[in-house]
Amino acid sequence: WALANGFGLFAAEGYRSRTVTTIENLPGIDVSALNKFLMARDMRIANGYGSLKNKTFRIAHMGELQMEDIETLLGAIDTFMLTAT
């Protein structure tokens, strides 16, 4: 999803986590506004921190999350990107 939508993947191949994905915010979307949009829909992502704040965001995919949950989140991000431009 990230690469197909103009984002990047922060971790190099071979170093990626099975529990969280850090996405490079190459399009420069407003991560705080995205999170506000998502929280109104009972979803949340984590903004980057330190020098990576607003340059990356993290999507967790662990615990009781199912693929359907991730697909719903990604669909909501797609909707945000359509409405934010």
Average pLDDT of the residues in 2-7? 96
Which residues lie across from 53 on neighbouring strands? 56
User: Can you give the pTM of this predicted structure?
Assistant: 0.91
Tokens linked to 25: 């915010």
Is it the case that residue 71 has pLDDT exceeding 80? yes
Q: Which of 15, 19, 67 shows the shortest CA–CA distance to 46?
A: 19
CA–chain centroid gap for 37, Å, is: 12
38-68: per-residue pLDDT in tens?
999 999 999 999 999 999 999 999 999 999 9
Predicted pLDDT at 33: 96
- 8-39: pLDDT as tens digits: 999 999 999 999 999 999 999 999 999 999 99
